Structure 1
Amino acid sequence: MNTSLRISKLSKSDKAPFVSLMSRAFSRDPLFLHLFGDSEHDLKASRKVTAFVSFMFDKSFLLHEEALGFFENEILLGAYVVEKPRADMLRSIRGGLLLIGRVLPLMFRLSWQTLRLLNGYMRVTKSAVPPRMHHYLIMIGVEPESQGKGVGKALLNHLLTTVSADRYSLGIALDTENEENIKIYRRFGFALSRETKFNDLPVYCMFYKKDTDL
């Protein structure tokens, strides 16, 4: 049987599979459990996760972030969203204004406590990024049934290639709350740049420094 594999930019029509994939991929993520609760066993928590991931997808288009997916026969098996180091100021302002229309519905789906925690988490992670132009890996996830089959590796290698070709970017920053992920990212050249805490939740900040001699 012929199998068609590709990595390509996501379109707005990919929202439903993206939300489904990321919601399941992050169901046991320490940060998601801390913010939303157990989405596998709590319907209310599941709805919160769905609302948040849906918002992140919309945000990626409004703020002109890069959202790419790994497809097999048109089925989405993995995806990542990355913030680029250079963005058109006018487009960013316009996107930010439009984003307000997405934030308001989110406020009715998440509690004020959850929104406060999200804001606090962003302050912690933003303070840890290096003071240089770089990509920021917002989220990367793989369909649970496809984990361990090279999908995440293919996505990360695609991102590394993209960053290597970007003369404005000096590397990639990311944050993870899962200590096991540190070993995985180190295999791709990431180094642990800072270890901090958010509400007693360990946060590991990592950075991939591009070889500028290439």
Structure 2
Amino acid sequence: MNTSFRISKLSKSDKASFVALMSKAFSRDPLFQHLFGDPEHDLKANRRMIAFVSFMFDKSFLLHEEVRGLFENEKLLGAFVVEKPHANKFQSIRGGLFLIGRVLPLLFLLSWQTLRLLNGYMRVTRSAAPTWTHHYLIMIGVEPESQGRGVGKALLKHLLNMVSADQNSLGVALDTENEENVNLYRRFGFALSRETEFNDLPVYCMFYQKDSSYMSAPN
């Protein structure tokens, strides 16, 4: 990793940087465009996407998910949100109640159809995940101007080291709608566990298992 890079947990004060970063990183993402429209050519689509990313950031703190970012000279270049497998049940219930207050503003920007699609997508992808205890990579993004500098690679290595150090987790699952990402994740030890589709959108469900005997799918 570049010695000028620093990876650390994000705090609530990093929200604006996180939202700006992820909104740019996911502006061409197939799922986001399918749900919200094209934010580069539609102002309303851009507002919907920003509202959703903002909600995801708030949710991560309320549900005690792990949010980490890569900084260079205090500038956020990349980040990921990962769901931990052993969150405190009381904290999760309490966080879920507070989360309702964060959902309400979304209802003024997102249609019921979009919310229904989001729920349907979660059902499809979570059903493809292994039944044993694991982390779930909710989202990972890199500032477009910083792509090719090893930011994503550093974040993924950090995530896998974090998962490997957790004795309660057997690995990490993720989903991507970009076919070109499949081989990228394979290089980090992920295997394609299921290829499916959601609302005519291809979805590639992948899993990294800590057991070294777990072999990735062939190219």
TM-score (norm: length of structure 2): 0.94
The aligned residue for residue 202 of structure 1 is 202
The aligned residue for residue 117 of structure 1 is 117
Question: Separation in 2 of the partners of 1:143 and 1:4?
Answer: 16
The aligned residue for residue 134 of structure 1 is 134
Pairwise CA RMSD of aligned residues? 1.1
- The SS at the match of 1:109 is coil
- 1:203 partner amino acid: V
Describe how 1:6-25 pairs up with structure 2 within 5 A.
6-25=6-25
- The answer on 1:163 being equivalent to 2:163 is yes
TM-score (norm: length of structure 1): 0.97
What is the CA deviation profile of residues 33-55 of structure 1, one whole-angstrom value per residue up to 9, with x for unaligned ones? Answer: 10001001110000000000000
The aligned residue for residue 96 of structure 1 is 96
**What are structure 2's unaligned runs of at least 5 residues?**
214-219
**What are structure 1's unaligned runs of at least 5 residues?**
none
Question: Separation in 2 of the partners of 1:173 and 1:5?
Answer: 25
Question: Separation in 1 of the partners of 2:146 and 2:210?
Answer: 29
Task: Tell me which stretches of 4 or more aligned residues in structure 1 moved more than 3 Å.
Answer: none
- 1:76 partner amino acid: L
**Equivalenced residues, count:** 211
The aligned residue for residue 187 of structure 1 is 187
After superposition, the Cα gap between the structure-2 partners of 1:212 and 1:179, relative to the gap in structure 1 and judged at 3 Å, is closer
- The SS at the match of 1:133 is coil
The aligned residue for residue 75 of structure 1 is 75
**Retained in 2: the 8 A contact 1:170–1:212?**
no
In the TM superposition, residue 30 of structure 1 has moved relative to its aligned partner by 0.5
Question: Separation in 1 of the partners of 2:53 and 2:86?
Answer: 24
In the TM superposition, residue 212 of structure 1 has moved relative to its aligned partner by 6.7
- The SS at the match of 1:38 is coil
Question: Separation in 2 of the partners of 1:129 and 1:103?
Answer: 25
* Percent identity over paired residues: 80
In the TM superposition, residue 109 of structure 1 has moved relative to its aligned partner by 1.3
